[in-house]
Structures are given as C-alpha cells and as structure tokens.
A and B are shown apart, each in its own frame.
Chain A
C-alpha cells in the first residue's frame, strides 16, 4: 500500500517567488523577478539564488534559526539537482535532494511529512524551483535558437517555492499521500509531456481513492500539476474511459498559470513550481475549498533517452490537503 493518512502534519507557511512571464500572468506572488538573471551572471546562479532567497525568507518570516529546522528537502530540474545542492550549502540544515521532475513538490511534502511523523521533529522546509531558460538549455535547444515549437509543448515556469512543514497545528493540514508508480504508455514525444503524464496522474488518482476507500466526491477540487491545457483534456478523457470517473471541480495548474493571450506559453506552464505557485497563490488564497487533492505529474525523461527513441516514463504523486479556513 502506497497511501497513508497523516495525523498531525501541517503546512505552516509558504513563500513564493516567480519569474518575469509569471509576473504578467493572472496571479500575484510574494516576490517577482523582472528578468531571468536575478542580478547574477548566469541562469544557473540565478536559480540557486532563487532557492536561497525563498528558503531564507521563510525562515526569517517565521523567526526561525537554521538549527530549529530539522530537514531541508529540495528539488529542481537541473542535472544532478545541482541547483538544490548549491543552494543547500548556505544553510546549516540537514539536506535531502529529491527528483521526480515536475512531481517533485508532492514528493518533497511526502518526504518531509514522513520524516516529521517518524522523528517527532518540529520543522522541515521543502524548497522547489525551476527556471525556464536553465531548463531550456538542459532539455531542449539553445535559448536564442528559434526552433519551431509544436502547440502541445509546455513552457517551463520560473519560480521557487519554500513551504514550512510542521507538526504544530496550522490551517493547512497535509491529510494523506499516495506514492505513484513510474508508468510508460509508449509515448516518445518529449514535446507532448501532457500525453506522457496523463496516465500516471490517472493511475495515482485511482490508487489514492481505492486505497483510502474514498470516492471522487470526497474532494472539493482536484488539481493536476502540469499536464497543460491539451494534456488535461487527455487526462479527463482517460479517467472517464478507463475508470469511469467524472471530475466535478478540476484544474490543471499548468493551464491556469498564464493568460491565454501569452502566446509563447503554448499548452501552458510546466515545471515543478507550477503546481505550488497555483495552489498557494490562487486556490488557498481564494478560501473556497476544504478538501484538496493535488496530483503532481512528472515526465521522467532525459535528452539522451529521447534521442535514442525510447518511450518516456512518467510519475505522479498525490497529496491531499485539508484547509481549515476558520484558522486561516
């Protein structure tokens, strides 16, 4: 069984930083960047600075010293998750680096929650980032290369989010989680990640509901990570055909992060920050939903395997949140 109900784990606070394209989108953030450099010389250093800034800010805002936090869990999209590693050296906090591509946010919450439950420690911090141009350079073509982009392609969001996880009662409770499996339904097109990831999200949703003995009506809203506008349609159709589930209230964070008029964003946002940016700055702020199911989705591809024409595995981890608006 890969699902578990947690008794006493909460998200106490979150700090979000977003890039220049997200700034022109419909949401507001704690801090926004005017350009991709963040006063650094390279995009790699800029992303390290982004992670460092959000982790520092969340410590400061909650009046915490490094030594009061027992664990820092961080992830990003770079090779050897180097951004997280380089940012972690600025903190005197034990560090675990994680990678589930764009499902890294729920993975970081799962790891933090498991740790806090088993050790009875008080605080853990989860920091997740992605940087559009850093990811482009790594996974696609040179930044200034005007390669024709298919409409199915998504646009890696730029941002960093730190969440403070605690066992002290707070408005947002991490109610349960489900760890997903790597699933491959033979899609080889790395520019159609929505199609790669939709079956993984569907499978994790099914596992989550059946293992915890729930129906989809338990949740006020279901949010997938970054399937994109096209991928989310495939997801809805998939769960209808394969499992006969119809979602009442559903968003895809990737499809909601930008305005339709932002043409370069094609099928929507992707990247591990898309889900938390949308969750914290839209869903939680709106105070409309109590039981929220998050399905982070990650396309676990690597440029070498894609060039070798191998099909792409995908993963999805689920997190269920219970928001108490009276406390909020």
Chain B
C-alpha cells in the first residue's frame, strides 16, 4: 500500500457523503401494497367459493396459482419490475416475488439453450427460496412433533 487515506478515515468519509435511505417510506409502501395483495387474494378466494362452488381449501390453492400466474405474466410483459422496485418487500415477500424471480431469470436465459440456459438458470434466484423453504419446513415440523407429539 502507498500513501493513501487511512482505511477507517476513508470509511468515515464515505459514510458522511452517502445519503440515507428513507426507510419509513419504504416500510409504509411495502406494508400497504403487501396488504393490497392480501386483499386481492381474499377477493379471489371469495370468488372461487361463491362462483365455482369450491371448498375454501381448494379456493386457496387456486388463488395461489392465479397470483403466481399474474406475477409471471406481468413480469414477462415488462412492467412488474417497476412495481417491485417501488413496493419492495410488499411484492417480493408474497408468492408474487417467487414467481417474479423465476420468470425474470427464465427471460434472461431464454436464448442460451433449453438445458444449459433456461433449465439450469431459472432457479438462479428462486433456488434459495426452495432450499431454505424446505429446510425450514423440516425444522419446524420436527419442532412441532417434539412439542405437540
């Protein structure tokens, strides 16, 4: 190393000149839009139950599929990323985020071959959700058995 600014001193300088993110605003919009997704899903469940005579459990599954379908469709139409970057956790924590991650990765690698591109890269972001989702489910089901028998 040569005659540069001390690392700690530089870290302080960078911090001083780096603007703070407005967390309260992000939190509000994530909460509000995430809530709207929930209201929309609730509306779909009622539709499925009342219009198609489904059971509430079946209606829940179909609602989940519908939301995934819409998130994927909107992603491929090219405007959903703007919604997600605005709503942040409000849209990437619900199932919409999972669908969005898979579809966007699939779109990126659509020209790179079905096996080497699309197939192997579609889980680039969603892979973590699947792996840790399964591990989490395993952990909590073991915990459930230990506590409730």
Contact = CB atoms under 8 A, between A and B. Distances in A.
Residue in A42, A142, A151, A237 whose Cβ sees the most chain B Cβ within 10 Å? A142
Contact of A145 (B2, B10, B104): B104
A144 B13 contact: no
Given A146-B80, A230-B19, A185 B85 contact: no
A236 to B, nearest CB: 9
Nearest to B121: A142
A145 B105 contact: yes
Contact of A146 (B4, B11, B82): B82
A192 interface: yes
B14 A192 contact: yes
Interface residues of A, number: 31
Size class of the contact patch on chain B = 35 or more
Interface in A139-196: 141-152, 181, 183, 185-187, 192, 195
Contacts of B137: none
Contacts, number: 91
Interface in B44-97: 75-76, 78, 80-86, 88, 91-92
B105 A185 contact: no
A144 B107 contact: yes
A106 to B, nearest CB: 20
Contacts of B101: 142, 145
Residue in B75, B80, B81 whose Cβ sees the most chain A Cβ within 10 Å? B81
A142 B107 contact: yes
Interface string B8-42: 00110110111101000010000000000000000
A185 B4 contact: yes
A199 interface: yes
A13 B101 CA distance: 45
B81 A146 contact: yes
A241 interface: yes
B134 to A, nearest CB: 22
Contacts of A41: 111
A214 interface: no
A238 B7 CA distance: 12
A150 B78 contact: no
Contact of B75 (A144, A192, A230): A144
B103 A144 contact: yes
B104 A144 contact: yes
A119 to B, nearest CB: 33
A233 interface: yes
B111 A199 contact: no
Nearest to A44: B111
Contacts of B14: 187, 192, 195, 234
Contacts of A89: none
A262 B31 CA distance: 27
B28 to A, nearest CB: 14
Nearest to B20: A151
B5 interface: yes
B11 A148 contact: no
Residue in A143, A145, A192 whose Cβ sees the most chain B Cβ within 10 Å? A145
A180 to B, nearest CB: 11
A137 interface: yes
B135 interface: no
B18 A195 contact: yes
A203 B2 contact: yes
A233 B17 contact: yes
Contact of B13 (A146, A147, A183, A234): A234
B81 A199 contact: no
A1 interface: no
B143 interface: no
Interface of A: 41-42, 137, 141-152, 181, 183, 185-187, 192, 195, 199, 203, 230, 233-234, 237-238, 241-242
24 contacts: A41-B111, A142-B101, A143-B104, A143-B107, A143-B108, A144-B75, A145-B84, A145-B100, A145-B101, A145-B105, A146-B86, A146-B100, A147-B84, A150-B21, A152-B19, A183-B4, A186-B10, A187-B11, A195-B14, A199-B10, A233-B17, A234-B13, A234-B14, A238-B13
Given A145-B125, A152-B18, 10 more contacts: A141-B104, A142-B105, A142-B125, A143-B81, A143-B107, A144-B75, A146-B86, A147-B84, A185-B10, A187-B14
